[in-house]
Amino acid sequence: MNGTPDRMTLPTEVSLTVNGQCMSAQVPARTHLADLLRASLGLNGTRLGCELGQCGACTVSLNGQSVRSCLTLAVQAQGASVLTIEGMADDPIGRVLQDCFIEHHAMQCGYCTAGMIISAHELLQEHPMPTGEQVRERLSGNYCRCTGYEAIVVAVLAAAKRLAGVWP
């Protein structure tokens, strides 16, 4: 109102490690992590669905914990380590999850897949041999309108077995 810019709209430098690479960008303080990843860093694998934190499409790993990047401010990731779907190709668990999702037809339109894989990745780190119920519980916050979830659960369980060496 008095001609001075609102401090929430002034650019803020955010430096973080994304998929193992140090990155930084100037963004307004109100910028969400999803927008930083997509618009500023060009990592479009993180999807924006509901933008209310309910669908899970925007899920990324922030310091090893799954977060909704549509609700997390970019400044909250200052100095943090972020893992997105683009980084899964270089991650042993992520690579196996991606392969199993393909092999078990666990995606149709693919919109929810990135968030599903990030959530499943965290689960397999905590519980290398989860039960079907544990998989369903962990993925319950990720919406999929195409698959009916059963193929996704099968894919995650197959990935666990493959990582444990009990299934090819």
CATH of the domain at 69: 3.10.20.30
pTM above 0.75, yes or no: yes
Domain end, chosen from 33, 65, 86, is at 86
Based on the fold, state whether residues 96 and 150 are members of the same structural domain: yes
Report the C-alpha gap between 16 and 80 in whole angstroms: 5
Per-residue confidence (pLDDT) for residue 95, from 0 to 100: 97
Per-residue confidence (pLDDT) for residue 5, from 0 to 100: 56
Based on the fold, state whether residues 96 and 153 are members of the same structural domain: yes
Domain end, chosen from 35, 70, 86, is at 86
Could you list the residue range(s) of the whole structural domain that residue 63 is in? 11-86
Based on the fold, state whether residues 99 and 139 are members of the same structural domain: yes
Output the CA torsion sign for 24, 81, 71, 118: positive
CATH of the domain at 138: 1.10.150.120
Based on the fold, state whether residues 101 and 39 are members of the same structural domain: no
Based on the fold, state whether residues 97 and 141 are members of the same structural domain: yes
How many residues belong to the chain?
A: 168
Which of 103, 116, 104 shows the shortest CA–CA distance to 145? 116
In a domain, 62, yes or no: yes
Number of domains in the chain: 2
- For every one of its 168 residues, what pLDDT tens digit does the chain have, with 9 covering 90 and above? 555 555 556 788 999 999 999 999 999 999 999 999 999 999 999 999 888 888 999 999 999 999 999 999 999 999 999 999 999 999 999 999 999 999 999 988 888 999 999 999 999 999 999 999 999 999 999 988 887 789 999 999 999 999 999 866
Per-residue confidence (pLDDT) for residue 42, from 0 to 100: 96
Domain end, chosen from 31, 55, 86, is at 86
Residue appearing with tokens 């339109």 = 109
Based on the fold, state whether residues 80 and 125 are members of the same structural domain: no
In a domain, 168, yes or no: no
Based on the fold, state whether residues 65 and 82 are members of the same structural domain: yes
Based on the fold, state whether residues 35 and 56 are members of the same structural domain: yes
